[in-house]
Amino acid sequence: MIFFIFLLLCVGRLFFIQFFRSDYLTAIAKKQHNQLVELEPRRGTIYDCNLKAQAFNMSMDSLYAVPNAIKNPEGVISQLQPILGVERNYLQDRLDRKKSFIWLARKLTPDKSEEIKKLNIKGLGFLKETKRIYPNSYLASHIIGFSGMDNVGLEGVEMSYNNYLKGAPGWAIFLRDARLKKLDIWEKMVAAQDGLDLVLTIDEVIQYIAERELERAYKTFHAKGASIVVMDPHTGRILAMANRPTYDLNDHAHVSKDSIRNRAICDLFEPGSVFKIVTASAAFEEKKVTEEDVFFCENGAYQVGGRTLHDHTAHGNLTFRQVIEESSNIGTVKVAMLLGPDTLYRYIKGFGFGSKLGVDLSGEISGMLSPVRLWSKTSITAVPIGQEVGVTALQLASAISVIANGGQLMKPYVIDSVRDVQGRLVKQNKPVLIRKVISVDTAMRIKKILTGVIEEGTGKLGKVLGFSAAGKTGTAQKLEPNGSYSHNKFVASFIGFCPAEDPLITVVVTVDEPHPYYYGGVVAAPVFQKVAGDVIRYLKENEIPVEVRVQ
């Protein structure tokens, strides 16, 4: 009788479980024996213009734990802590959580991964994740940028083109055995969608040449910062862009914002005498002067508009050609007065100053250019020589390219194309003409004068061995917090192109607060000389064609 009652109770219990607890128990079983795993997509590779990889992903082990399956947490912590190099409290906190999955360490080095696998600890497992690798570490760091732990772009083109690079994750439900060990058997799966690849306009070799010479000047002159831009003047393709200070893309966790900042597009400075190319171009285009018109340069000091204007060297009579070659502030201002504020302002805007150029990098600023109605009585004596205006190195590169290419302002860009993993084109960038600024005749006349700057004027140290070159020096005083011009803080710069007769490249070099020497012709011109010479030889030796030119 007792046995019969017991049997009825068992049958009743089974009936209750089958019809009333079935869904609940099935869910528990699935949770124990099925593991939902997100499948990480391949993040797109970033290449230079010659398809040399600058950023790619490498597969690595990431360590996870199933805290519910770990019987001796203290022992596991003691074994893992010296390998992972983390605080004991960190591991204690993770393993105390009542979860079926929790990360302990992401993207381990192969050595650490193998060491942990040898411990054969129940409740630990590995999943494959990818880590972003930058094979050239410092090279083009401010253009490429970097991505975070979860492969999301945080700086540079890694950030601005993140939607192309990141792809879309998939998922899979893997089966686990009774010991909760993942089996290589999946129940359901949705494949990840790989990211697209980027091809930059940057040339790895040209980038290296530019960074090598910029680094040398930065250290030699103990500068606060420095930038260089190398561009194809006919298309706007940026062949190299670099800044100092810089940082290692593979070790960016504790880098200062000052090192990460792309100074070439987001740092504002008064350009000084390099800005005289705008005044000279406007004077020719408006037929206000000729090369041989003579201006009296007041023997180095000129009282005008309530201020005294100085030249770095006293000059008497100079032709207009000599005014630019010798970088006379007084002569340039006298020419600007013939133009008038409104006309000068129109040409400054035409050359791209005071507006964003639209480069495909995040962080570009528009610079600073006040409308004429806000100019003071002395602005006409300051703006023509690069004072009371703020520019970027990229704007200067685009402006000197106008002279080099025959009068056209081209939109600068660093992304050549976007491609899928099979190499098929998804998006192709092409040269974009922003506007026609000056005539071909004016550009040719300015080009001859800028050739004279290097041959006979202030830019002699920019002379390129074996090739003709044209350029302009600049030495700009920085503003102090009280609004006055500093007597010991300068920005030295040089803008130019090479070869002069048929330019292949334009180069802009800016050096912030160099010392003890601070003149653009001494500090920045030699960087131009070395970069232009080596780059032109590289292009010619490798028969690298100039891109199709916009007419």
- Compute the distance between CA of residue 460 and CA of residue 480 in angstroms, rounded to an integer: 31
Q: How far apart are CA 435 and CA 259, in angstroms?
A: 34
Whole-number Å distance between alpha carbons of 327 and 462: 15
Residue 121, Cα to own-chain centre: how many angstroms?
Answer: 45
d(CA 124, CA 107): 15
Buried b (16+ CB within 10 A) or exposed e, 103-124: ebbebbeeebbebbeeeebebb
CA dist 383 and 188 (Å) reads: 68
What token pair was written down for 331? 């002569």
CA 348/CA 278 separation, integer angstroms:
6
Exposed / middle / buried, residue 82 (Cβ in 10 Å: 0-12, 13-18, 19+): exposed
Beta pairing partners, 186? 174
Q: Which amino acid is at 375?
A: W
Q: Do 398 and 409 touch, CB atoms closer than 8 A? A: yes
From 260, 277, 1, 310, select the one nearest 156 (Cα to Cα): 260
Contacts of 190 (CB under 8 A, 6+ apart): 39, 170, 171, 172
Checking 366-373 for CB contacts under 8 A at 24+ apart, the result is: 367/268, 367/391, 367/392, 367/395, 368/268, 369/345, 371/345, 372/341, 372/342, 372/345
User: What's the CA angle centered on 82, arms 80 and 84, to 5 degrees?
Assistant: 65
Collapsing DSSP states into helix, strand and coil, what is residue 521? Answer: helix
Q: CA 368 to CA 355: how far, in whole Å?
A: 8
Return the bridge partners of 189, or none.
Answer: 172
Relative orientation angle of helices 110-119 and 73-84, to the nearest 10 degrees: 160
Q: 257 burial class (0-12, 13-18, 19+ CB within 10 angstroms)?
A: exposed
Outline where 326-413 has alpha helix (H): 329-339, 341-350, 393-404
Beta-ladder partners of 508: 229, 495
**What is the rounded CA–CA span in Å between residue 335 and residue 286?**
11
Distance CA 358, CA 344 (A): 23
DSSP three-state, residue 353: coil
Q: Say which of 273, 281, 398, 493 is annotated catalytic.
A: 273
- In the residue annotation, 439 being an active-site residue is answered as no
Residues involved in catalysis: 273
